[in-house]
Amino acid sequence: MGALNTKFGGGDKRKLTAQVLILGLNHSGKTTIFFTMRDKHNIFTIPAIGFNSETFITANGVSMRVCDLGNYKKVKPTWKDYFQESIGCFFVVDSTDEFRLDEAAQELHGILEDDSMRGVPVVVIANKQDLPNAITCTDLVQKLNLEKLSKTQNKWFIQSACALTGEGIYEAMEQMGKMVKENQK
């Protein structure tokens, strides 16, 4: 499992700093979600060719260094370099792209089968839920075979979201903070 830095601020407040990855298929909305987390509003983005990194603090005291990793042929092989230091993963799914859900499921389960990612909590962000043809979170649980994760050490949660409006993004961050904190007990 990845590293966790514990910092003590003023008083008895304990703040955790954790590296959390944003992964998923290309065009799922990873970079838009990253910038929505950072800027708290919608901005025009282009797909990440490399990676973006920023530290965010959740309301429950977890400081997350979030790394948005691109999913291009030259960048994807470097993902494993980030696994070892990570203690959380946002996995972004384009809820409107039914044709690529099998590929998304294989990608997610392949990531979590890596030794460095075993036991790492996952928040699946079901992006683009604002669109009329979006697949519901209930159906995504089945199509992504998330129930299989219940048999592993990986805790998971699925969050309905719209990266463009920010809907569900902060809830996903809070859930990740909660899961990371629980995982460290």
Q: Could you list the residues known to form a binding site for Mg(2+), using ranges.
A: 31
Binding residues: 24-31, 127-130
Distance in angstroms (rounded) separating the CA atoms of residues 57 and 74: 31
Ordered DSSP codes for 44-73 = -----SSEEEEEEE-TTSEEEEEEEE--ST
The burial of 126, by beta-carbon neighbours within 10 Å (0-12 exposed, 13-18 middle, 19 or more buried), is given as buried
115 CB-contact burial (10 Å; exposed 0-12 / middle 13-18 / buried 19+): exposed
**Feature table: binding site for GTP:** 24-31, 127-130
